[in-house]
Amino acid sequence: MKFNDILSMSLNSLIHRRLRSWLTALGIVVGVAAVVALVSVGQGLQQAVQSQLGGLGANIISVSLGFQRAEGGFSFGGERVRTSSSSNLTDSDIRTIRATPGILYVDGIVSGRADVTFSGESASLSIQGVDTSVWKFMVTTKLESGRYLSSGDAYATVISNNVAHGLFKHDVLLNSIITIGGHSFRVVGILQSGAAGFGGGGGSTIYVSKDDARRVITSLDLASNQYSSVSAQTIQSADIQAVVNQLTSNLMLTRHVTNNTRDFTVTSALSMQQSISSVTSTITYFLAGIAGISLLVGGIGIANTMFMSVVERTRQIGVLKSLGTTNNEVMKLFLTESGLLGLIGGVIGVIVGIGLSEMISLLGMRMGLFGSRGGGLQTVVSPEVVFLVIGFSLFIGAISGLFPARRAAHLQPVDALRYE
């Protein structure tokens, strides 16, 4: 028996029992649709997070106060975590960072909050004082208008997009005068809307020189040579993790601390992106695994249908065998039939899953999930996922029909013809 004959007989059998075939394939449709929709959400989430983190700059390293460590001993729910923080970051630390191989620019940052007044309205906003001689080389967000802060700038400010548009009743335009902590500042630059990375356009942040920041942040408890945090930029060819490790060792040496007394944390945007990417990938696999259970349930439905088909077609199997059909050909006949159920269910399931994915994407746009300016969460259906789930549904269908096919193949022609 040729394969074309086997395929034709399998299709005729499915068409003859069309209602049962559709109900059986429905289990595969639901499973595949769930896998496609949930994986598309996971991949969309991963892209959204990576887009949000893109403004951090892959070669930016941040040094901040405090270090978390796990302590031994019994505690309910796991290890106890202690955060240590002692002395502030100083000019000495900046010199150490600058002397580390692979570091290109270093910026000591003074941060806090201050009252900001514009056009009769006031708001408490985040103030970030930067080193104006290097900040323009390290900032990761482009300008909407104006310029970055430059060396010698005094009482000049660059504002985030949210401060310029939407925070106050009237837009803060370029060259506007705003009052920060009782001092008048001229707006020389407005950042584009974007991720809140180093100098990012996200959030409600105002950037001034570090000297001006010390004047306007009234709650600041830092000496003239101390900083809230330090950011550094590496050369393009540097191994980020190697620089982080070397920088950590150098700071531990100059700050006279050990692993047990360490009071600072060194992080890189690249490692943060990799960590979050790993987490979102795990979430995607977890969602796919949950949805994959539906595929297994659909496979059980195919197996049940094929067992019933073997029972109903016992006499037909006897006739085929009496005409010279081999056990192998009978087995191929039923495997092809079960495989077609899986394939048809997989194709329809992909179409339904893509439709569900688009609906989720539209819902995300309306709710503004993970998007700026209402961009929303965009689900992503990759061709790899489509081919993978179709292939897997075909595999599930074939495997589900394996035992019924073996049973049909081993029926004796005489016994099959006598079956009522």
114 within some domain: yes
Q: Answer yes or no: do 22 and 127 share one domain.
A: no
Q: What's the structural domain count of the chain?
A: 2
Which residues, 6 or more positions from 188, have their beta carbon under 8 angstroms from its beta carbon? 146, 147, 149, 153, 156, 157, 158, 174, 175
Q: Answer yes or no: do 248 and 304 share one domain.
A: no
Mark which of 254, 283, 298 sits at the end of a domain.
254
103 within some domain: yes
Mark which of 254, 283, 302 sits at the end of a domain.
254
For residue 199, the enclosing domain spans: 88-254
Q: Answer yes or no: do 306 and 406 share one domain.
A: yes
Q: Answer yes or no: do 237 and 117 share one domain.
A: yes
234 within some domain: yes
Distance in angstroms (rounded) separating the CA atoms of residues 129 and 419: 90
266 within some domain: no
Q: Answer yes or no: do 34 and 106 share one domain.
A: no
Is residue 420 helix, strand or coil? coil
Mark which of 188, 221, 254 sits at the end of a domain.
254
Task: Walk along the chain (420 residues) and give the pLDDT tens digit of each residue.
Answer: 677 777 787 787 778 777 878 888 888 888 888 888 888 888 787 777 666 655 556 688 889 887 765 444 434 344 444 444 457 889 999 999 999 999 999 999 999 999 999 999 999 999 999 999 999 888 888 899 999 999 889 999 999 988 998 889 999 999 999 999 999 999 999 998 764 455 554 578 999 999 999 999 977 778 888 899 999 998 887 888 899 999 999 999 998 888 888 888 888 877 777 777 777 778 777 877 877 787 778 888 888 887 777 777 777 777 777 777 777 887 888 788 888 888 888 899 999 989 988 888 787 666 655 444 444 567 888 888 888 888 888 888 888 888 777 777 777 766 656 554
Q: Answer yes or no: do 327 and 194 share one domain.
A: no
Q: Answer yes or no: do 362 and 217 share one domain.
A: no
Q: What is the pLDDT of residues 20-79, one digit of tens each?
A: 788 888 888 888 888 888 888 887 877 776 666 555 566 888 898 877 654 444 343 444
Q: Answer yes or no: do 237 and 378 share one domain.
A: no
Which among 164, 153, 216 has a CA at the least distance from the CA of 191? Answer: 164
267 within some domain: no
28 within some domain: yes
Q: Percent of the chain, pLDDT > 70?
A: 85
Distance in angstroms (rounded) separating the CA atoms of residues 42 and 370: 13
Q: Answer yes or no: do 295 and 148 share one domain.
A: no
Q: Answer yes or no: do 184 and 299 share one domain.
A: no
265 within some domain: no
Q: Answer yes or no: do 94 and 234 share one domain.
A: yes
Q: Answer yes or no: do 96 and 244 share one domain.
A: yes
**Overall pTM > 0.85:** no
Q: What is the pLDDT of residues 132-168, one digit of tens each?
A: 999 988 888 889 999 999 988 999 999 998 899 888 9
Which residues, 6 or more positions from 1, have their beta carbon under 8 angstroms from its beta carbon? 325, 329, 333
224 within some domain: yes
